[in-house]
Amino acid sequence: MNLRTTKCECGYVFTDKDVKPPLMDVSMLKNQKNFYGGTVKKLCKAKCQCGKEYLLYLIPGKTFTIKDMEPLGAEEQKAIEKKTNQRRKRK
Ligand SMILES: [Zn+2]
């Protein structure tokens, strides 16, 4: 569920400074070709100072542009952990 904003409920606006590894490929989490017209290539988790967690949708460039984001609940967290762990095992 995308929010169509990069602003947290508390008023904090996420910027490229909030983009921290590990970045995930869109294909790992989204079963969607051409996510945002193919512009959004990476995803990363970010935690706001108020404690809320989000998944940021990133467009790569000189710095990352945050196109959009979605709130991260326990369900999504679990799904992400599962997928990133699978990936690690495969290497
Ligand atoms: Zn916040």
Specify if 11 maps to a domain: no
Whole-structure pTM value: 0.89
Domain that holds residue 65: 16-90
Cα(54) to centroid(ligand 1), Å: 10
Cα(49) to centroid(ligand 1), Å: 6
Strands 42-47 and 24-25: antiparallel
Specify if 86 maps to a domain: yes
| pLDDT tens by residue, 12-49 | 999 999 999 999 999 999 988 899 999 999 999 999 99
Q: How many domains does the chain have?
A: 1
Cα(2) to centroid(ligand 1), Å: 16
Specify if 7 maps to a domain: no
Mean pLDDT of 56-80: 94
Specify if 29 maps to a domain: yes
**Contact of 79 with 60, CB cutoff 8 Å:** no
Specify if 62 maps to a domain: yes
